[in-house]
Structure 1
Amino acid sequence: MKKLLFIILSFFAITLLSYGNAYAYSDPPSITGKSVVVMDANTGAVVYGKNENKPYPPASTTKLMTVLLTLENCDLDEVVTVGEFPPTIEGSKIYVDVGEKMTVEEMLYSVIMVSANDCAAALAEHISGSIEEFALLMNQRAKELGCKNTNFVNPHGLYDDKHRTTAYDLALMEKELLNHEKYIEISKTKSTFLQPTNIFKEKRPLWNDNRLLHDAYECYYPDAIAGKTGYTDESRHSFVASACKGDNKFIIAILFDENKAYYDETPKLFDWAFKNFSTEKAFSKGEEIGTYETTNGSIIPLLADKDILYTKDNSSKEKPSIVINKDTLSNKFFNKGEPITTVAVNYNGQGYSSEVLSGSDYEEEVLPVVGNLVTTEDNTISYKNLFMIIGGIVLGIILLILATIYIIKKRNLAKKRKKTFLFL
């Protein structure tokens, strides 16, 4: 009987544990694309990756970098005059003509919403003077963002055997773009019209290619905020999309999807990410994250220089470790608000760092007159040295008085002798 009861209890225990694990964490849905990454847009942490660092031809997702450089280098109301090359370009375009004038903003709408290759080329020439020079700028900016496997040769993504990037690198570009409100505004625009120009006398209609935005499609995702599609025969299908729920924001980048399955798969992948991960704050800017006791016993509050966020695995009870580097603070004096050291935050393979500010002044102990002559290595007053200095000063005063008395007596004696000599 006892054995039977033990077996029954064991069965229920195993069942309960299995049930808990199944709902605490779930595997990501299957993705058709050969290269995939899911990134927390707030922290840059990768929560899922498949060949995410393997280079592939990116097609029009290349335009993420073109849009980023345009936002960083141009005013929206700048006028772009189309040169001879952009109208000759192949692929998707709005059919600009040589000498046509459009604002940077209008061209951004065209590039983001309908993937206009001609506008991407026109923006590249406007910024750098030529496609070749703009490609150099693209690669330089990619390195600054931390991209390690990217080489761009054009601003639009038409196939070139040297034109490559990765799902991870594209996610980094999208992460930076999400800091630009104009990018999100344009990316969320479902349809609009471009006004007539000096050459094209009718309004041009624009319809956003990102189906996640349109409720007429089954793949409609209400939390989607941005997306960029891409396709060439050689590159196959590519897609980069972002979605936001509350404080949580994720980026999905997919390369070399042969079946264009990303519209069916991306919403499921977003749901998985939002369910299993969340952005948490380790500490806030200005928050006291610790204290430092100086050698003389003073307590210095240590303040965070910025918010530090990390990506929490919702199935884990693990807490981030916070380590303040206090080794560099010894024998150091500082002012309130001054950066004095660093803090490292580590969680589940993620690492973040920030400067640490002093919450109060810490100055060298200095007494009037004697200055720092009696300050010890511990930044305290050495009363032994102080008494020695005071004793020396007192002794010096006494000797000075005695010397003065001696001189006065000697002068008086000399005067008496002089008078005696005159009398004789």
Structure 2
Amino acid sequence: MQKLLSSIIYSICLILLSLAYINDTKDFLSNFAPFCTTGNIKPVPPQTITPESLGITASSTEPSNMYSKAYCLVDADSNRILASKDEDMKLPMASTTKIMTCIIALENGDMGSIVTASQNAASMPDVQLNMKAGERFILQDLLYSLMLESHNDTAVAIAEHIGGSVEGFAKLMNLKAEELGLGSTHFVTPNGLDADEHYTTAYELCCIASYAIQNEDFMNIVQTPSHQFSNYDGTRAYSVNNKDAFLTSYNGAIGIKTGFTGNAGYCFCGAARRDNVTLVSSVLACGWPPNKGYKWSDTRKLMDYGFKGHAQAAVTPKNPLPAITVSDGKEASVPVKRTSTESFNVLISKDDIITVSYELPEKLSAPVRSGDIIGYENYTINDGLYMSIPIVASKTIDKTDSRYFANILVRMFFANY
């Protein structure tokens, strides 16, 4: 039966093709696919958007004479790198680890739950809350101890409470890193004490921080000047104070975390916001004692460069898109559209170049369904991909069949008589 049907379709096509050489018939058939022509549909060439066309004049010289072994500055909205040195080098990150510890606790823990300190937690080296084995706390209070004074015993108590063990909690941390697309970050401890295979990069630490500062509860904690609490049984009182000097010394600073170990050196991951622009920076291996202030100096240089040398501009997707040829379809081409035509902001300097390029096929095969993603409109800034907007078919094109060709024959017959 299938062979018979195929033979019928083939015969109909031969009839129509032969009739196409008769002028009147040819004109008639030109109204139908596949006999009509779509003309020469040209691919869309790449286009350049200059900062000047967007009104951007900001410019600055990238920081020099930095103390950090590796550093990075990103636009927090896109994680686009604005300045960096060895940003992909795997390095220990000390207590900046606790940014991820806090986020895992906020996302997986009950803030009102009771945390019981184990002997393992109580045995952690300085810096400590000096909790005692068996002592009980409310989880929310411990997050202030974790982030304001960077207590190592608190980090382990939180990890054991939520993950069942330090190892179980580390799995949660690594799963989150994988979820965030961080391929050069690996956690072993919740407090950042030196350990083999415990590392991140300057860039990926910025990505972790960019994610964390989207959490309102996280921001409330890291911006708190001080916090007082008691253990659950009310037998001991505690007071913790924010050790992040950047928070009160830099215009627009919003946190977030310092760190130091013998292997990692001084580390800091900071964030600042001005005029709807949020920047995140990280400095790793930024000196050893007694050079405690190097991390602040490097961070200010990065932030100054970001704010003084860049400005926001709105880009609106508006270039016309061509129809795409469709083979074996009931129409010869399909119109396409973007999934979004809304303007989006870019943070750039006058030296940056935005390029718009297109990933579109020369031809599609029917059937094509309305809403099918058929390509992308890509926006790159310099050499880095900034955004991809999906391009979809805006209507359905069904595949030709015997009924379609039979209908053309019938219409052609009545058109002539």
Same fold by TM-score greater than 0.5: yes
Q: Which amino acid aligns with 1:346?
A: T
Alignment correspondent of 2:398: 364
The answer on 1:264 being equivalent to 2:297 is yes
Change (3 A) 1:299 1:57: closer
Q: Which has the higher contact order (CA 8 A, sep 6+)?
A: 2
Give the superposition deviation at 1:319.
3.1
Q: Which amino acid aligns with 1:272?
A: Y
Contact residue 324 and residue 333 of structure 2 kept, 8 A: yes
Contact residue 66 and residue 298 of structure 2 kept, 8 A: yes
Alignment correspondent of 1:276: 309
Residues 333-352 of structure 1 aligned to structure 2 (within 5 Å): 333-335=368-370, 339-352=373-386
Alignment correspondent of 2:409: 384
Alignment correspondent of 1:130: 165
The correspondence for 1:254, drawn from 261, 265, 283, is 283
Give the superposition deviation at 1:55.
2.2
Alignment correspondent of 1:239: 268
Q: Which amino acid aligns with 2:146?
A: V
Change (3 A) 1:316 1:108: same
Change (3 A) 1:66 1:23: closer
Alignment correspondent of 2:28: none
Alignment correspondent of 2:355: 320
What secondary structure does 1:225 align onto?
strand
Deviations 1:258-292 (A, max 9, x none): 12212233223201111222454544xxx776545
How far apart in 1 are the matches of 2:404 and 2:158? 64
Give the superposition deviation at 1:180.
1.2
Percent of pairs with identical residues:
26
TM-score (normalizing by structure 2):
0.74
TM-score (normalizing by structure 1):
0.72
Deviations 1:4-59 (A, max 9, x none): xxxxxxxxxxxxxxxxxx98432324321111111111111111111222222211
How far apart in 2 are the matches of 1:107 and 1:24? 43
Residues 149-298 of structure 1 aligned to structure 2 (within 5 Å): 149-194=184-229, 196-214=230-248, 220-258=249-287, 259-260=291-292, 261-283=294-316, 290-293=320-323, 296=331
Q: Which amino acid aligns with 2:302?
A: L
Alignment correspondent of 2:34: none
Change (3 A) 1:355 1:165: same
Contact residue 374 and residue 382 of structure 1 kept, 8 A: yes
Alignment correspondent of 1:375: 404
Contact residue 73 and residue 280 of structure 2 kept, 8 A: yes
Contact residue 87 and residue 95 of structure 1 kept, 8 A: yes
How far apart in 1 are the matches of 2:363 and 2:107? 37
Change (3 A) 1:154 1:358: same
Point out where structure 1 has 5 or more consecutive residues left out of the alignment: 1-21, 215-219, 367-371, 395-424
Larger helix proportion of the pair:
1
Q: Bigger shift: 299-308 or 32-41? A: 299-308
Give the superposition deviation at 1:383.
3.1
When Rg is computed on C-alpha atoms for both structures, the one with the higher figure is: 1
Aligned length: 351
How far apart in 2 are the matches of 1:199 and 1:126? 18
Deviations 1:180-212 (A, max 9, x none): 121122111122222x23344354222111112
How far apart in 1 are the matches of 2:200 and 2:343? 29
Alignment correspondent of 1:407: none
How far apart in 2 are the matches of 1:343 and 1:155? 41
How far apart in 2 are the matches of 1:280 and 1:104? 42
Deviations 1:145-189 (A, max 9, x none): 233333322110112244222212211211211221211221111
What secondary structure does 2:257 align onto?
strand
Contact residue 167 and residue 255 of structure 1 kept, 8 A: yes
